C-alpha cells in the first residue's frame, strides 16, 4: 500500500513534539499531589493525543487501516478494563501497563533491526539490543508480578537450588548474544536475545514476594521507560526519548523512595530471598489471647476523645470501606473531635494507594497526614484507629533485629493512649510476622469486615 505524504513540515513537527513533552512534564508535576492528580492525568492524556496525531501527520505511514484498527481494538479492551478495575487491583493494572510498554518497545526494536545494516549503524544496533533486552525483562517480569498480585501463583518468594547460578548464566548468555547482534545484525540471534530477556525477567522477579512486589513493579516501570527511550534512539524520535527518560527517571526515584520507606535497599529487596530476607513470612494464625471489643465500646472511645488518628490499610481497600471511614470522620468532627488520617508511604499495594482511596471518598486533602508529619502527633491522640493495616504499624520494625521488616519506618501508633484495630482475623500482614501491639493491654480488637465494622461503629457514634 502506498504511504501517505507527510502533511507537516519538520518545524511544525518539532514544535508539536515540544508541546507534547511539556504536557508530559506538567503531568508528572500534577501527579505529585493528590489534589492535582486528576488534572495531571488529563494533561498527560492531552500530550499523548498531540504526539499520536503528530506522528500521523508528519510521517510517511502505510497500512493506515491496520494501524487505526489496532488502535480501536486496544481502546476497546483498555477503556472498560480501566473503568471497572477495583482499587485493590490497581497495582496489577500498573504491572500490565509496564509489561505492554516494555514488550511493545522490544518488538519495535526487533522489527527495526533489518533497517540498521549500514556501515555506520553500530550505535543504532546497540540501542536495538538494549531495547530488546530491557523491554523483554520488563514484559516478562511484569507478567510475573501481575500473577503474584492477582494470586494466580504464590505471593511468596520462589527460589530453588541453583537459581543464582542460572540467573547469572542467562545474563551472561544475553550479553554474548547482544554483542553478536551488534557486530553482525543477525535476526536469529536477536530472537535468541529476546528469549533470553524473557527468561531473565521471570528469574528476576520469582525470588521477590510479599510487600516487595509493588516495589518491583516500580522498578520495572523504570526499565520500561529506559526501553522506550532507547527505542526513540532507534527510530530517531526525540519525543520517545524524552517520554521514556521521564518514565525511567520517575520510576527510579519512586523505587528508591519506596525502598527507603521499607528501610531496605533495592538490592536487598530484589535478592534478599536468597538470604531469607524477603518480607513474605508465615501465614499462620496466632492463638494468643487478645482483648476483643464491640462497636458500641469502640464508639464510646471515639465519641468522647479529643483527638483521633485513623490509620488506613489494605484491608480498608479490600472492604471498600473508604466512604464509611470518611463518614465516621465527619461524624466525629461534628462532635468537635480533631480527626486525621495517617498515611504510610507503602500502605496498601502501591505508593499513594491510601491517598487515592480516601480522595475517592472526598476526604479533605488537609486531613491526610504523611508519616513524617503525623508521627509526632500520636502522643497527643486519645485513640488510634487502625483499619486494615498491620505491617506499617508493627513495632517489630524497631525492636526485633532479624525481623523481615526490621529498620522499616513505621507509624508510631503505639504512642497513642488507646489503640483500636479493625481486623478480619489474627492472620499476619504481608510480612507474615505477629504484631506485638495487638497484645498490648491498651489495644482493643474489633473483628470483622472493615466496612461492616465501620458502619456499626458509625451508627453507635450517632446514637451517643
Q: Which residues contact 253 (CB under 8 A, 6 or more apart)?
A: none
In 3-state terms the chain splits into helix, strand, coil percentages (rounded to 5) of 65, 5, 30
Report which of 309, 262, 282, 301 is spatially closest to residue 414, judged by C-alpha positions: 309
How far is it, in rounded angstroms, from Cα 214 to Cα 140? 15
pLDDT in tens, 44-77: 999 999 998 998 888 777 778 888 898 899 889 8
Report which of 223, 138, 259, 124 is spatially closest to residue 181, judged by C-alpha positions: 124
Report which of 219, 306, 227, 378 is spatially closest to residue 235, judged by C-alpha positions: 227
* 383 strand-pairing partners: 308, 418
How far is it, in rounded angstroms, from Cα 446 to Cα 458? 13
Catalytic: which of 212, 297, 391, 449? 391
pLDDT in tens, 390-448: 888 888 888 777 677 777 888 999 999 999 999 887 776 665 677 888 888 899 999 98
212 as an active site residue: the answer is: no
pTM for the model stands at 0.79
Residue 78 pLDDT level (bands cut at 50, 70, 90) = confident
Residue 282 pLDDT level (bands cut at 50, 70, 90) = very low
Amino acid at each position: 500500500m502506498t504511504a501517505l505524504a507527510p502533511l507537516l513540515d519538520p518545524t511544525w513537527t518539532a514544535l508539536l513534539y515540544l508541546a507534547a513533552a511539556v504536557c508530559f512534564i506538567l503531568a508528572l508535576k500534577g501527579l505529585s499531589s493528590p489534589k492535582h492528580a486528576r488534572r495531571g492525568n488529563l494533561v498527560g492524556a492531552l500530550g499523548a493525543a498531540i504526539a499520536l496525531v503528530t506522528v500521523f501527520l508528519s510521517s510517511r505511514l502505510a497500512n493506515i487501516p491496520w494501524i487505526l484498527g489496532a488502535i480501536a481494538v486496544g481502546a476497546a479492551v483498555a477503556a472498560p478494563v480501566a473503568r471497572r478495575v477495583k482499587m485493590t487491583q490497581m497495582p496489577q493494572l500498573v504491572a500490565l501497563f509496564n509489561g505492554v510498554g516494555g514488550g511493545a518497545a522490544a518488538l519495535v526494536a526487533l522489527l527495526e533491526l533489518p533497517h540498521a545494516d549500514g556501515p555506520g549503524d553500530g550505535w543504532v544496533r546497540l540501542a536495538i539490543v538494549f531495547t530488546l533486552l530491557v523491554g523483554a525483562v520488563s514484559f516478562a517480569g511484569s507478567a510475573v508480578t501481575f500473577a503474584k498480585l492477582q494470586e494466580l501463583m504464590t505471593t511468596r518468594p520462589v527460589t530453588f537450588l541453583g537459581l543464582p547460578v542460572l540467573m547469572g548464566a542467562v545474563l551472561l548468555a544475553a550479553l554474548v548474544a547482544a554483542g553478536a547482534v551488534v557486530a553482525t545484525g543477525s535476526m536469529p540471534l536477536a530472537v535468541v536475545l529476546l528469549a533470553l530477556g524473557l527468561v531473565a525477567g521471570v528469574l528476576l522477579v520469582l525470588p521477590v514476594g510479599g510487600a516487595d512486589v509493588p516495589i518491583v513493579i516500580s522498578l520495572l516501570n523504570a526499565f520500561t521507560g529506559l526501553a522506550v527511550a532507547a527505542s526513540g534512539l532507534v527510530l530517531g524520535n526525540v519525543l520517545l526519548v524524552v517520554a521514556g527518560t521521564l518514565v525511567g527517571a520517575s520510576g527510579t526515584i519512586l523505587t528508591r523512595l519506596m525502598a527507603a520507606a521499607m528501610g531496605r535497599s533495592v538490592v536487598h529487596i530484589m535478592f534478599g530471598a536468597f538470604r531469607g530476607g524477603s518480607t513474605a513470612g508465615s501465614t499462620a494464625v496466632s492463638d494468643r489471647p487478645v482483648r476483643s471489643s464491640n462497636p458500641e465500646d469502640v464508639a464510646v472511645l471515639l465519641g468522647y476523645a479529643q483527638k483521633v488518628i485513623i490509620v488506613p490499610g489494605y484491608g480498608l481497600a479490600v472492604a471498600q470501606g473508604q466512604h464509611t471511614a470518611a463518614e465516621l470522620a465527619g461524624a466525629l468532627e461534628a462532635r468537635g473531635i480533631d480527626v486525621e488520617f495517617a498515611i504510610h508511604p507503602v500502605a496498601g499495594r502501591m505508593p499513594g494507594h491510601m491517598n487515592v482511596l480516601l480522595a475517592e471518598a472526598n476526604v479533605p486533602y488537609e486531613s491526610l497526614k504523611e508519616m513524617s508529619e503525623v508521627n509526632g502527633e500520636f502522643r497527643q491522640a486519645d485513640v488510634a484507629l487502625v483499619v486494615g493495616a498491620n505491617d506499617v504499624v508493627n513495632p517489630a520494625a524497631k525492636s526485633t533485629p532479624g525481623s523481615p521488616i526490621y529498620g522499616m519506618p513505621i507509624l508510631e501508633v503505639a504512642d497513642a493512649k488507646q489503640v483500636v484495630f479493625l481486623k478480619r482475623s489474627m492472620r499476619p500482614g504481608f510480612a507474615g510476622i505477629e504484631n506485638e501491639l495487638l497484645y498490648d493491654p491498651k489495644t482493643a480488637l474489633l473483628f470483622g469486615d472493615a466496612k461492616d465494622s465501620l458502619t456499626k461503629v458509625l451508627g453507635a457514634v450517632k446514637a451517643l
